[in-house]
Amino acid sequence: MENLDNQYLLLTPGPLSTSRTVREAMLRDWCTWDDEYNKDIVEAIRKQLVELATGAEGYTSVLMQGSGTASVEATIGSIIPQQGKLLVVNNGAYGERIGQIAQYLNIEHTIIELGEVVQPNAAQLADIIDNDPAITHVAMVHCETTTGMLNPVEAVCDVVKSRNKIMILDAMSSFGGIPLDIGKLGIDFMISSANKCIQGVPGFGFVIARQDELEKCKGRARSLSLDLYDQWQCMENNHGKWRFTSPTHTVRAFYQAMQELHEEGGVEARYQRYASNQKILVAGMEKLGFKCLLDKSLHSPIITSFYSPEADEYEFKMFYNLLKEKGFVIYPGKVSNADCFRIGNIGDVYNADMRRLIDAIESAMYWV
């Protein structure tokens, strides 16, 4: 199987290539007050998201308009009380962004600065928490797409929950593509987005939360439009109604994408496809002489960073344009101290597509 339907494949951290049926789901208009939309689509999505995240009792979900970052900001700004303190685990651009959000919102916080190629260390994390009793919440990115690193969520959650702190996981680029039971891990708030591994389109994010912790958040929000508690209450009390204008077409596309995830075989089947895509990608790139930024033990099945060729003639923009002409869009690097680029292998992308990509890259290596 391969995707030959798009003008080019988006091999990026998101938005991603989607199926024709997901795109076609947006061809109908919807009324935000109608039960056919709120009860049959929004409420179904909310229920399915919780079921996808955990088999444990006591979780709920809330959808938020905007980008994935908007949902991260809604969470950080809504759940931490005025006297609370956030510990941010930062080993990439998206961990850094959580720290920026805390700074903008005047939330007391500490940042563990690890650099972009280092995983969090459980012992170091435990030491920081144990020596700062003011810390109430800990936030970490699961898959840091700055490099493609998959962070050790189990070890971090063990430290955080054994010390009775609130665990916030930014699973933007991993939820739906990597098996994860947030109930077993003790995660209190998990954040993701419509246009990632569920393979929907941009327009909203979502938070899956431990309900008893979300219930404590009334009046804490530092923003009207990003009030996570009020949005949840509105959906709970009005059968899925959003407080403000709902991104109806995006929501309907996501409903279709959730059905297609189920038809594929669920998260495990999708994980296997993504993982095999990534293995084909790395093997093919290494055969062409490219080197991975990270050790393979740190790789995720989501996106991979490669060092740029050392040839003087190489220029990323030219390489990018040549690949785009051949039907593939890749991503520039985001690592501060390494010249690299990134290639994603998630979305409606298959093994045959990755093999076509390797052939396209070989023919686009004008500097050789």
Domain with residue 37: its CATH number is 3.40.640.10
State which residues form the domain around 112: 21-263
Closest CA to 116 of 147, 141, 89: 147
CB atoms within 10 A of CB 267: 20
Could you give the CA distance from residue 259 to residue 264 in angstroms, rounded to a whole number? Answer: 9
Q: Backbone phi, then psi, for 304, in 5-degree steps?
A: -130, 135
Could you give the CA distance from residue 347 to residue 250 in angstroms, rounded to a whole number? Answer: 16
Q: Looking at 230, 263, 296, which one is the last position of a domain?
A: 263
CB atoms within 10 A of CB 68: 25
Binding residues for substrate: 342
> Which percentage of the chain shows pLDDT scores above 70?
99
Q: 221: helix, coil or strand? A: coil
pLDDT in tens, 87-102: 999 999 999 999 999 9
Mean pLDDT of the 210-219 span? 98
Alpha-carbon radius of gyration of the chain: 21
Q: Please check the confidence at residue 3 and state whether its pLDDT lies above 90.
A: no
233 and 317 share one domain: no
Mean pLDDT of the 166-190 span? 98
188 and 333 share one domain: no
Exposure string (b/e) for 150-164, b if CB count within 10 Å is 16 or more?
Answer: bbbbebbbbbbbeee
Domain count for the chain, please give it. Answer: 2
**Residue 75 exposed, middle or buried by CB count within 10 Å (0-12, 13-18, 19+):** buried
Q: Please check the confidence at residue 307 and state whether its pLDDT lies above 70.
A: yes
67 and 114 share one domain: yes
78 touches 217 (CB < 8 A): yes
Task: Write down the pTM of the prediction.
Answer: 0.96
150 and 182 share one domain: yes
Binding residues: 342
> Which percentage of the chain shows pLDDT scores above 90?
95
Mean pLDDT of the 34-48 span? 96
Confidence of residue 1 (pLDDT cuts 50, 70, 90): confident
121 and 199 share one domain: yes
Give the rounded distance of the alpha carbon of 251 from its chain centre: 17
Confidence of residue 337 (pLDDT cuts 50, 70, 90): confident
